[in-house]
Amino acid sequence: MSREDDLPEFAKIRLFVEHELSAGACIELDKEQSHYIHHVMRRNAADSVRVFNGRDGEWSAHIARAGRAVQLEAGACLRSQTGTSDMTLAFAPIKKSPMAFLVEKATELGVARLQPVITERTQVARVNLGRLRAQAIEAAEQSWRLSVPVIAEPMKLDTFLESWTAKPLLYCDERGASMARKSTLETLQTVRDKSGPWATLIGPEGGFSPAEQRRIEALPNALAVSLGPRIVRAETAAVMALTLWQAVLGDLNQGAA
């Protein structure tokens, strides 16, 4: 019996892999994953792990070959693949550490797609998509998600808004000017029948420009919400908005996916 079998489920190692998964499938781990398994976690031949690829569900696997190049062999399917909430988080790129926090928490909250948007007041021009994907993968492994959010190429805000004209958009309005007297939760309750893909739009630290605000508010399906009386950082706003959306319209009361 593998020593992993005595661990509680949440303590077992989970790895995202690109390989197709089926019973008996051979999985060659890359250099970083091999180092993590063998040197960091000190796992050896016959020890068990869990693997998922975002397509075939989650599978048990055991280490068939340990060392510098770790090889796994898939066993049984533990969880079938399920869908995720169809939510895109559109956000203005921010500094490295806050953006890592944003990606991690958005992944934990079930976002399907992360879309960097360049606004007039965006202060960070370059986005390291490889680093963001690595952060999303790590968050998916730790949060027991069965998928990893798509990390999209940055685009200008106007381009994003043109692509989202007919779909619901949750717009975090830091001014509160567009808000009715209802609370944010009450406002979301009024649109519970709007199915299909949603997006949450978070502005840069300096907020949207007046011209951008008018452009957003002109969209027929834009829903302006306030995040309360305090000014919060962009990464905090993302967590607040996604949590509110998940509580009313998402999968917060369902099992992990």
**Structure tokens, 112:** 């399907």
Report the pLDDT value the prediction gives residue 150, as an integer from 0 to 100: 97
pLDDT digits (tens, 9 = 90+) for 70-82: 999 999 999 999 8
Report the pLDDT value the prediction gives residue 53, as an integer from 0 to 100: 97
Q: What are the backbone dihedrals phi and psi of residue 141, each rounded to the nearest 5 degrees, phi first? A: -60, -40
Question: How many C-beta atoms lie closer than 10 Å to residue 122's C-beta?
Answer: 20
CA-wise closest residue to 170 among 251, 252, 86, 242: 242
Pairing of strands 155-156, 169-172: unpaired
- For 64, counting Cβ atoms within 10 Å of its Cβ (0-12 exposed, 13-18 middle, 19+ buried), the class is middle
Report the pLDDT value the prediction gives residue 4, as an integer from 0 to 100: 54
Q: What dotted CATH number matches 3-79?
A: 2.40.240.20
Give 48's strand partners: 62
Report the pLDDT value the prediction gives residue 160, as an integer from 0 to 100: 97
Low-confidence ranges of the chain (pLDDT < 50): 1, 10, 177-181, 256-257
CA-wise closest residue to 18 among 113, 153, 133, 107: 133
Report the pLDDT value the prediction gives residue 254, as an integer from 0 to 100: 64
Report the pLDDT value the prediction gives residue 180, as an integer from 0 to 100: 46
Report the pLDDT value the prediction gives residue 175, as an integer from 0 to 100: 62
2 and 62 Cβ atoms separated by less than 8 Å:
yes
Report the pLDDT value the prediction gives residue 151, as an integer from 0 to 100: 97
- 3-79 against 87-248: fold identical: no
3-state secondary structure of 67: coil
Degrees to nearest 5, angle at CA 212 with 207 and 213? 75
CA-wise closest residue to 89 among 74, 72, 101, 76: 101
User: Does domain 87-248 fall into CATH 3.40.1280.10?
Assistant: yes
Domain boundary assignment for the chain = 3-79, 87-248
Report the pLDDT value the prediction gives residue 58, as an integer from 0 to 100: 97
